[in-house]
């Protein structure tokens, strides 16, 4: 048999959701986990190790036909060390740098003639962007962490002293809504997007997605897809990427890139012929990409996010109520401890009655997280 | 956390396909495998043991919240021994006997006033059914094994001497086609069927299924579903069951029962809101059942069956051709050695152009099994 071994660095829920399509296709997965209790390590073959110990990562990587990632917290030197040994790593160090370094990303978008907000590098001194503005850590931020709303020059200076390294500062946009385009590209250069997704945020974290975006013009939607395809080619992406975009009137302005399967694409597990997780495996293995058509008029996804509560946080008991209430509800458990602000699962509903889908999804996530009393 | 542990006896492809929905729902699976190389043992937690060693099965079963099966070759005494200890086992020994013993099954169908072919128990002597007739081993047969076409009294006597135990004999029906109804039932008594399925046979083994059955009358289809629901209730089924039925004109005649997820329901993985594998887990855990609606007008499934060939039997290399040819094709690998007559995988296509779907599925299985030269 010549079925390949794909190594995944990271064993959170994104790696967990790669497991079912790998089982279907007969692709062997092995994870580099930080702990055997990690979401995906509970149900897939893995080694436990530390990403700062390059030798142990290399030893593991040599057992894989291709190595990929499920999060951004990968030292660049590690990726380069694997590449130097001839280990196939996707996305490559160079592509991945645009996901890891927000200054590089902004410069690349400008190079590609794609729409950035006004931005500049801040290392103290005068700024040409008016307050309030957005300041971002150049590396290491996600889910709203490392992103700061700054009202004055004094605040900016204080933040800079605290962080003690250059910041990316950006104009604060009064956007109408936020969307994301998921795109996949193989080393062959074959690329495909899914229908752009509306991402509804609360406290800097995505709470619900709606696909396709309701009431968006065909022109705007296809412009968003075109941006994602241009970036994928421009950075020589191999794998799946999320392009987060602000919509301001009929303008599209790029917010963030994530070079991995992403929360904005979870709906594709049931909502598309090919899920983002299967597509990621196909792309890094240089297999032909699958069809990204939707299988229903609308797919609504809701994140189950831990809240402050004195309840036990039992996530299984709500199944009785939720499955009885809506037999079409698709539940995904990440098997992580419930903690305030942490994504511990998601639910998806497909159908055509958008108002109903959205309210059912909202009910389900509130019920699972314990926000609704029983 | 109170997520339950489901024990599955058997680790073939049916257990393998229970793993993805268990991952989604956070249900822990543990398999009782005969070998670590078994299809499902390759990718799921398991113990290796022998079903004839009751003590080792019991020791494993005590670690589970509920125990179920993926095949019929389970000694009744073993099921009874688990039940005697208060271990929850579904289907129960009594329900399972109708799947294991074809004489009991025929008698039960007669009790329930459901349509049998003419049948009798044969232990030598005169027969009232005309030749040619069908003789069946009372226990242990599947996929056409243990089923014999008998042309004369001499042949029957010879078979009886060889088998050396009572036979079930049945009239040979000149049926128009064969169908199957998948049905699920929970201990609560909630039951649901999927759309009845056309099962296309070759050499006593199913090669393709089409769901729903093309050109069947609403009345016949709902009568088939009603038969399945009547049996499910009549035998106190808990879990998923396949009811195989012959269609003769406007008559429906029950062929076989299988009290487990079944080849006839593989299409439901992509073709239905809830797959038979998820539904089986829900049923044995007494969770509310999921929606069994289809997500496309037609679902066509083709079995990849090993053929006599001098080829290497590489099942991964065809991916390049197949995925490029049809990006909608869903491939399922069981990761079993390719042997003539053995089911080693299946493919599914959803859509509305039935002729096209059937010919694409036929091409894909021929290409995978090596029947088409490259």
Interchain CB contact of A327 with B (< 8 Å): yes
Q: Collect all residues of chain A within an 8 Å Cβ-Cβ radius of residue B291.
A: 327-328
Bridge partners of residue B231, in order along the sequence: none
Q: Collect all residues of chain A within an 8 Å Cβ-Cβ radius of residue B323.
A: 282, 287-290
- With beta carbons less than 8 A apart as the criterion, state whether A192 and A183 touch: yes
Beta strands in B55-166 (DSSP E): 66-69, 119-122, 133-137, 147-150
Interchain CB contact of A19 with B (< 8 Å): yes
Q: Collect all residues of chain B within an 8 Å Cβ-Cβ radius of residue A282.
A: 323
Mean per-residue pLDDT for A188-211?
94
**Which residue intervals of chain A are DSSP H helices?**
13-25, 54-61, 76-84, 93-100, 102-111, 153-163, 218-234, 268-271, 276-284, 318-325, 354-369
Q: Collect all residues of chain B within an 8 Å Cβ-Cβ radius of residue A332.
A: 24
Interchain CB contact of A339 with B (< 8 Å): no
pLDDT higher than 60, residue B374: no
Say if residue A91 is preceded by a cis peptide, omega within 30 of 0: yes
Bridge partners of residue B343, in order along the sequence: B305
Interchain CB contact of B25 with A (< 8 Å): yes
- With beta carbons less than 8 A apart as the criterion, state whether B288 and A327 touch: yes
Beta-carbon separation of B1 and A315 below 8 A: yes
pLDDT tens, position by position, B218-255: 999 999 999 999 999 999 999 999 999 999 999 999 99
Distance from CA of A367 to the nearest CA of B (A): 16
Say which of A1, A19, A315 has its CB closest to residue B314: A1
Interchain CB contact of B1 with A (< 8 Å): yes
Q: What is the mean pLDDT of chain B?
A: 95
Interchain CB contact of B330 with A (< 8 Å): yes
Q: Collect all residues of chain A within an 8 Å Cβ-Cβ radius of residue B3.
A: 315-316, 333, 335
Beta-carbon separation of B3 and A316 below 8 A: yes
pLDDT higher than 60, residue B195: yes
Distance from CA of B92 to the nearest CA of A (A): 23
Within 13 Å and on the Cβ side, how many CA atoms surround A347? Answer: 27
CATH code for the domain defined by A118-171: 3.30.1490.20
Query: Could you tell me the residue ranges of all domains in chain B?
Result: 5-89, 118-171, 177-369
Distance from CA of A252 to the nearest CA of B (A): 30
The pLDDT-based confidence of A310 (bands split at 50, 70, 90) is low
Beta-carbon separation of A319 and B287 below 8 A: yes
- Residue listed under structure tokens 């929905």: B21
Interchain CB contact of A191 with B (< 8 Å): no
Distance from CA of B329 to the nearest CA of A (A): 8
SS3 B43: coil
Run of H or E including B281: helix B276-284
pLDDT of residue B181: 98
CATH class, range B5-89:
alpha beta
Beta-carbon separation of B323 and A282 below 8 A: yes
Bridge partners of residue A245, in order along the sequence: A179, A254
pLDDT tens, position by position, A28-60: 999 999 999 999 999 999 999 999 999 999 999
Distance from CA of A277 to the nearest CA of B (A): 13
SS3 B269: helix
Mean per-residue pLDDT for B18-40?
98
Beta-carbon separation of A327 and B274 below 8 A: yes
Interchain CB contact of A189 with B (< 8 Å): no
**What are the CA-CA distances from residue A280 to residues A242, A347, B316 (Å)?**
12, 21, 17
Beta-carbon separation of B333 and A282 below 8 A: no
CATH code for the domain defined by B177-369: 3.30.470.20
What helix, strand, coil percent values describe chain A, rounded to 5?
30, 30, 40
pLDDT of residue B373: 63
Interchain CB contact of B291 with A (< 8 Å): yes
Nearest Cα residue in chain B from A289: B327
pLDDT higher than 90, residue A84: yes
pLDDT higher than 70, residue A327: yes
**Dist. CA A17–CA A12, nearest whole Å:** 9
Mean per-residue pLDDT for B67-75?
93
Q: Collect all residues of chain B within an 8 Å Cβ-Cβ radius of residue A24.
A: 20, 330-333
- With beta carbons less than 8 A apart as the criterion, state whether B365 and B303 touch: yes
**Dist. CA B51–CA B32, nearest whole Å:** 9
Beta-carbon separation of B333 and A290 below 8 A: no
Say which of A4, A293, A331 has its CB closest to residue B24: A331
pLDDT of residue A307: 84
Beta-carbon separation of A288 and B324 below 8 A: yes
Hey, what's the torsion of the CAs at A193, A67, A65, A22, to 10 degrees? -60
Model pTM score: 0.96
- With beta carbons less than 8 A apart as the criterion, state whether A184 and A141 touch: no
Interchain CB contact of A304 with B (< 8 Å): no
Interchain CB contact of B282 with A (< 8 Å): yes
- With beta carbons less than 8 A apart as the criterion, state whether B262 and B180 touch: yes
The pLDDT-based confidence of A309 (bands split at 50, 70, 90) is low
pLDDT higher than 90, residue A336: yes
Instruction: Please name the residues in contact with B296: beta carbons below 8 A apart, sequence gap of 6 or more.
Output: A295, B271, B350, B351, B352
Say which of A26, A334, A335 has its CB closest to residue B333: A26
Mean per-residue pLDDT for A208-230?
97
- Residues within 8 A of B (CB atoms), A 342-361 only: 345, 350
Within 13 Å and on the Cβ side, how many CA atoms surround A125? Answer: 7
pLDDT of residue A143: 57
pLDDT tens, position by position, B319-371: 999 999 999 999 999 999 888 889 999 999 999 999 999 999 999 999 998 88
pLDDT of residue B74: 92
Beta-carbon separation of B319 and A43 below 8 A: no
pLDDT higher than 90, residue B123: yes
pLDDT of residue B307: 84
Interchain CB contact of B3 with A (< 8 Å): yes
Beta-carbon separation of A323 and B350 below 8 A: no
Say which of B288, B316, B319 has its CB closest to residue A1: B316
pLDDT higher than 60, residue B150: yes
pLDDT higher than 90, residue A144: no
């Amino acid at each position: 048999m010549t079925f390949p071994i794909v190594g995944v660095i990271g064993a959170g829920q994104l790696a967990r959701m790669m497991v079912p399509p790998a089982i279907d296709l007969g692709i062997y997965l092995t994870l580099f986990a930080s702990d055997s209790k990690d979401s995906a390590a509970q149900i897939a073959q893995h080694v436990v190790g530390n990403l700062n110990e390059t030798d142990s990562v290399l030893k593991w990587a040599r057992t894989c036909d291709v190595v990929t990632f499920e999060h951004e917290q990968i030292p660049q030197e590690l990726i380069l060390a694997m590449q130097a040994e001839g280990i196939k790593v996707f996305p490559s160090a160079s592509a991945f740098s645009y996901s890891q370094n927000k200054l590089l990303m902004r410069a690349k978008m400008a190079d590609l003639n794609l729409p950035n907000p006004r931005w500049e590098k801040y290392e103290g001194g005068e700024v040409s962007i008016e307050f309030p503005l957005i300041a971002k850590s150049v590396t290491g931020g996600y889910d709203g962490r490392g992103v700061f709303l700054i009202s004055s020059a004094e605040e900016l200076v204080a933040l800079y002293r605290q962080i003690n390294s250059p910041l990316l500062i950006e104009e604060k946009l009064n956007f109408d809504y936020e969307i994301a385009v998921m795109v996949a590209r193989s080393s062959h250069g074959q690329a495909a997007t899914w229908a752009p997704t509306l991402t509804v945020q609360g406290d800097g974290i995505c709470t619900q997605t709606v696909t396709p975006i309701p009431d968006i013009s065909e022109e705007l939607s296809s412009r968003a897809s075109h941006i994602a395809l241009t970036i994928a080619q421009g950075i020589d992406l191999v794998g799946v990427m999320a392009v987060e975009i602000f919509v301001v009137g009929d303008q599209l302005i790029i917010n963030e890139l994530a070079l991995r399967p992403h929360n904005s694409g979870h709906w594709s597990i049931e909502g598309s012929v090919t899920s983002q997780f299967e597509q990621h495996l196909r792309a890094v293995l240089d297999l032909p990409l699958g069809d990204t058509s939707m299988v229903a008029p609308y797919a609504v996804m809701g994140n189950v996010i831990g809240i402050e509560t004195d309840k036990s946080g039992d996530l299984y008991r709500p199944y009785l109520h939720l499955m009885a209430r809506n037999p079409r509800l698709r539940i995904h458990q990440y098997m992580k401890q419930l903690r305030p602000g942490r994504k511990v699962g998601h639910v998806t509903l497909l159908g055509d009655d958008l108002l109903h889908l959205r309210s059912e999804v909202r009910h389900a996530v509130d019920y699972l997280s314990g926000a609704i009393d029983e």
